[in-house]
Structure 1
Amino acid sequence: MTQVWKCSGLRWAADGPALTWAGGRRSALPRGKRVAFAVPEGGVRTCAGARGHACPVAAVVPGRSTGARCEECARLDRAHSVAADTIADDPRPYRVYLAWFGPGMVKVGITALERGPARLLEQGAVCFSWLGTGPLMAARRTEELLRAALRVPDRVPYAEKRAARSALPGTEAERAAEVRELHARAAALTGWPESLRPEPCHVVDHVRAFGLAEAPAAFGEVVELVPGGAVRGELVAAAGPDLHLAVGGRGAVVLDTRLMTGWELLPPEPAPAGCAFPVREFRREPDGLF
């Protein structure tokens, strides 16, 4: 009998990205690894549940949803989310950061000190710097200070992050420039909470960790998994939740692993590299007017 795997998402650690599976299994994703799976005919995508608990009704969820949760489980998950600003009494220390995703795309955010840079890797931040460390509410006030005084957003649409990766500046100094400039402006602001300890600007670049410098250009992105579909390819880069898979011929296709959660997956039949899921091709800007 063929073993069925149910994906729980992509996780980043010090040794790189890994797919996690129901039951606690983990598949490391070193570059060059062959990634191949299929959705069985007649398969359905069910809710991923909330806070480590299964959805009580195993609700069916849309194939294009990156959250993979029904309305009730999404509400429960958000009710216990630091990112949603619904928790005020977390005693852990937090860090405020500036993250850069491409030219003109810098955001401010917070993450628990104990998580290190994992949150930045999970978001697909091309580079980042810490701003300060302190209690949760002090970190929140600092985040709001930057939004109000410097108009730095706390969110960047993921589609924009993905699109920016195809045209990144070639050197670390160029990629770090906007972060350094904003860090200096933030440090000069008055009104920082006294309990937040400022940190010097030290820009960490993730291009090498993601493998973006050596990866072939991606021609499109998988928009959803469908019953009877499959993908077979070589992992050439990984950034945030995205896997860049060389699928033969045209280059690489981007697979957002959040689209995998909720599906039961099988090993595919032996076949050449390729993608049999719906793919949206990236728009290419014309070289000139004519």
Structure 2
Amino acid sequence: MAQAWRCSGLRWSADGGPALVWDGGRRSALTWGKRVAFGVAPAAEGGVRRCAGARGHVCPSAAVVPGRSTGARCEECARLDRAHSVAADTLAGDPRPYRVYLAWFGPGMTKAGITAVERGPARLLEQGAVCFSWLGTGPLMAARRTEELLRAALGVPDRIPYVRKRAVRALLPRGEEERAAELARLHAQAVALDGWPESLEREPFRPVDHVRVFGLGSLPPAVGEVSELVAGGAVSGELVAAAGPDLHLATAAGVVVLDTRLLTGWPLLPVQGRELSVPVRKYGAVEDAVVQEGLF
């Protein structure tokens, strides 16, 4: 049996683009047109998905986790990971400065969020934000209070499901100004609100567009998305776009979206063919996804 590799996820850098990261730190840079191909080890040869651990620590029980889980963690490791995240509000003493942002993923899909200043735009790339603008900078708790103010006053959520983001990527407005129009309106409303913490410095509207970074300019509509990996299954296709954790792969059946979070925890092997032998959720329409039974 060939050496199996374990993927720890897709990482973005503002200047280097997307790359798959493997246990041990090795990176596989991803460029448009590159063939992405791998197989999952058969069950008889160790093809089992195991917990990815938390915060750089190996799962003590090497627990088996479901194929459809995007977190790839057992309950205990998921609890540990959550307890040390900014989203859990357990890091109130974090001295680092934070930024509040508005991110746009498509018509009617804008969210508010926060990220550490030192991370730059990495958080927005990881989420697949088509365009975004900073709103303000300040201490963590001031940024958190502002995020909550925006959600209540503007009706913008702090999360948007990936299935909704994927559904509109091939149908985005062509012009940058048109893509930024909804952000501009919400940004103006946001900075005019009363109740901003005094320690948070407001920032002007400067939209950043990621369509070229993600390769979405001429993206064909996807016919479906991989719903899970399975022991003995394989994925192969040419990379035509990437956004957030998603790879858009051109296969014999059309463009299929692979959420790279589904790779974590599986032992993966190189393959030579052009096979797509994992369950795929077929899109019945742009707005909706219909579960397909069996293989695509």
Fold equivalence (TM over 0.5): yes
- In the TM superposition, 1:218-233 aligns within 5 A as 218-233=222-237
- In the TM superposition, 1:73-222 aligns within 5 A as 73-222=77-226
Work out whether 1:2 is the aligned partner of 2:6. Answer: no
Query: How far, CA to CA, are the matches of 1:220 and 1:132 in structure 2?
Result: 38
Q: Read off the aligned partner of 2:6 and give its amino acid letter.
A: K
Residue 261 (structure 1) aligns with: 264
C-alpha deviation, 1:215, in angstroms: 2.6
CA distances 1:50-108 after superposition (whole Å, capped 9, x unpaired): 00000000000000000000000000000000022221111000000000011101000
Residue 61 (structure 1) aligns with: 65
Q: SS at 2:6's partner residue?
A: strand
Residue 290 (structure 2) aligns with: none
- Give ranges in structure 1 of 5+ residues lacking alignment: none
Query: How far, CA to CA, are the matches of 1:82 and 1:252 in structure 2?
Result: 35
Work out whether 1:245 is the aligned partner of 2:245. Answer: no
C-alpha deviation, 1:217, in angstroms: 2.1
CA distances 1:141-194 after superposition (whole Å, capped 9, x unpaired): 110111111111111112111112132112111110110000000011111111
C-alpha deviation, 1:216, in angstroms: 2.4
Q: Which shifted more, 223-232 or 149-158?
A: 149-158
Query: How far, CA to CA, are the matches of 1:207 and 1:12 in structure 2?
Result: 14
Q: SS at 2:67's partner residue?
A: coil
Q: SS at 1:77's partner residue?
A: helix
Task: Indicate the percent of aligned positions where both proteins have the same amino acid.
Answer: 75
Q: SS at 2:134's partner residue?
A: strand
| Distance 1:285-1:138 versus aligned 2 partners, 3 A rule | closer
Contact 2:229 2:278 in 1 (8 A): yes
Residue 39 (structure 1) aligns with: 40
C-alpha deviation, 1:34, in angstroms: 1.1
Q: Read off the aligned partner of 2:267 and give its amino acid letter.
A: E
Residue 23 (structure 1) aligns with: 24
Q: SS at 1:8's partner residue?
A: strand
Q: Read off the aligned partner of 1:259 and give its amino acid letter.
A: L
Query: How far, CA to CA, are the matches of 2:109 and 2:236 in structure 1?
Result: 32
Contact 2:126 2:245 in 1 (8 A): yes
C-alpha deviation, 1:218, in angstroms: 1.2
Q: Read off the aligned partner of 1:69 and give its amino acid letter.
A: R
C-alpha deviation, 1:285, in angstroms: 6.1
Residue 278 (structure 2) aligns with: 277
Q: Which shifted more, 42-51 or 153-162?
A: 153-162
Q: SS at 2:65's partner residue?
A: coil
CA distances 1:119-161 after superposition (whole Å, capped 9, x unpaired): 0000011110000011101100110111111111111112111
- Give ranges in structure 2 of 5+ residues lacking alignment: 288-296
Query: How far, CA to CA, are the matches of 2:42 and 2:156 in structure 1?
Result: 46
Relative to the length of structure 2, the TM-score reads: 0.93
Residue 291 (structure 2) aligns with: none
Query: How far, CA to CA, are the matches of 2:284 and 2:107 in structure 1?
Result: 18
Query: How far, CA to CA, are the matches of 1:261 and 1:236 in structure 2?
Result: 22
Query: How far, CA to CA, are the matches of 1:111 and 1:285 in structure 2?
Result: 31
CA distances 1:6-54 after superposition (whole Å, capped 9, x unpaired): 0000000121000001111111111111111000110100000000000
